[in-house]
Amino acid sequence: MRINRNREISRRQLIQGGVAAGVALATHGAWAADARALPQVLKTIPSTGEKLPAVGVGTNAYGNEDRAELKRVLTGLPELGGKVVDTARQYQGSEDMIGGLLAEIGNRDRIFLATKTPMQGSVAAGPAVLDVSFQQLKVSRIDLLQIHNMNGMDQLMPHMKEYKAAGKIRYVGMTTSTDGQYDPIMAAMKSHKPDFVQVDYSIGNRGAADSVLKLAQELGTGVLINMPFGGRGRSFFPRLANVAVPDFAKEFDAGTWAQFMLKYIISHPAVTATIPGTTTYAYLEDNQMGGRGRLPDAAMRKRMEDFWDKLPS
């Protein structure tokens, strides 16, 4: 999945519009002392009890973005309290880019590094398929290796569990980004018992709540959320261009639309972390503030949904 340039431009316009767009944005040097003082939202990985910061970084465009700016992002992520970096073999060049940058920066030990097996094509080579990610990321251990969109689930999962037993992988997972795969991925969750499942879920795309997220809670499976701001050519930012963030968002420390959307996601009890695409330091600051401070409770989440559903489409 490649980045949608219109999505990036639309978010940039919201940032530049600032108050005119109803966005009390705290980026570009305004990651202030009061924002840092807000407590960080940490969520628990069910299979081990390890804590993770609830907002990470998605990297589906890292193969063709400005290298210097991406280095700022990966340098700044742990400095701002974040940890999760999610990539994939499918994101052409992203594993190579991330591996090179982390080696240069020297902060691999401060990153929870997740990647995915090939989304398409044969995986009959088994372990050799897995080994490519280690080579491209330039690491001897991957924190989370995920089967991408169900491709080769039954063939690869036994090898992944062998790698986990050998200490080469800390956690195993599986992903989807479409509701057409919810039933098969839930069946795979029951049969393979992964540590993590990754699924699309957002305030504008709530279909996984009563299916994949519910089952994850029942099974004790960690959950990563992709496409938190919309996806597949349907970014939410253009819809918000002339809409102010509602005043009630102050009750859960959200000052921007990105923070509003992220806090809706990470306040779901099944969610471990979300991975918004982050290609600039300004987006990093904004997103990371979405992982600090108060979270909406169940009643507030319903209020957020009602507000969202009444927005012009």
Please list, in sequence order, all residues whose beta carbon lies within 8 angstroms of the beta carbon of residue 177, skipping any fewer than 6 positions away.
1, 149, 199, 200, 226, 227, 231, 232
Sequence-distant (≥ 6) Cβ neighbours of residue 85 within 8 angstroms: 56, 57, 59, 74, 77, 98, 111, 112, 113, 114
Write down the pLDDT at residue 10: 63
pLDDT of 11 reads 72
What are the residue ranges spanned by the domains of the chain? 42-309
User: Which parts of the chain register pLDDT below 50?
Assistant: 1-5, 7, 17-32
Which homologous superfamily is 42-309 in?
NADP-dependent oxidoreductase domain (3.20.20.100)
Distance CA 225, CA 264 (A): 12
Furthest-apart CA pair in the chain: how many Å? Answer: 55
The whole-model pTM stands at 0.92
